[in-house]
Amino acid sequence: MPQVTLALRKGDSAALHRFFFHAAKEGTEKIVEKLLAVKEVNRNHRDDGGQTALSHAAGRGHVKVVRLLLEDGSADVNSRDNNGWTPLFHAAAHNRTEVVNLLLAHPNVDPNIKDLKQRTPLSYVTENRCFEVFKLLLADPDVDPDSKDFEQRTPLSYAVEEKYYDMVGILLDTH
């Protein structure tokens, strides 16, 4: 934390952005909280892959950091990385149920944003059998269970192909 304090004193915005990003990525709440108090810190700074601090924290399951970023109100909950993934997509793909819950509760989150392959988080978690996240997503009234990807495949078609019959049943019940 001494380096953060020094960067704050010097007004070194490049260093502050690096510290903020790293702290969010590693789940270091105290540093994130301290840097959120600095208005010059860009909450939506992107790395080379296009990910923001919120995307990294969400994908790594850092619940407290995600909560801090959401409560701050200036992090873009629908920011898309170079693959088109949002923070919700990262959390869902890594089976981070608590983070998925937090993000779905945010009034601005769009759970149907598609990645570069036109897939939604629901499509991805269905294929990869992230069952708890699958149920959370389907419980959200804004989630489209019939969304098609670039191959015209739906979450139901992935569940059938993978023989995830419990998921097939749940998806059929949504109709």
- Would you say residue 89 lies in a domain? no
- Would you say residue 98 lies in a domain? no
Residues 120 and 168 reside in one and the same domain = yes
pLDDT of 5 over the 80 cut: no
Domain range for 25: 1-83
How far apart, in whole angstroms, are the C-alpha atoms of residue 151 and residue 157?
11
pLDDT of amino acid 151 = 96
Residues 173 and 121 reside in one and the same domain = yes
Q: Please, which pLDDT band fits residue 104 given cuts at 50, 70 and 90?
A: very high
Number of domains in the chain: 2
Which phi and psi angles does 24 have, rounded to 5°? -65, -45
Residue 5 CB neighbour total at 10 angstroms? 10
Q: What is the pLDDT of residues 107-140, one digit of tens each?
A: 999 999 999 999 999 999 999 999 999 999 999 9
Q: What is the pLDDT of residues 73-102, one digit of tens each?
A: 999 999 999 999 999 999 999 999 999 999
CATH assignment of the domain containing 14: 1.25.40.20
Task: Give the chain's largest Cα–Cα span.
Answer: 59
pLDDT of 8 over the 80 cut: no
| 36 Cβ contact partners less than 8 Å away, ≥ 6 residues apart | 43, 68, 69, 72
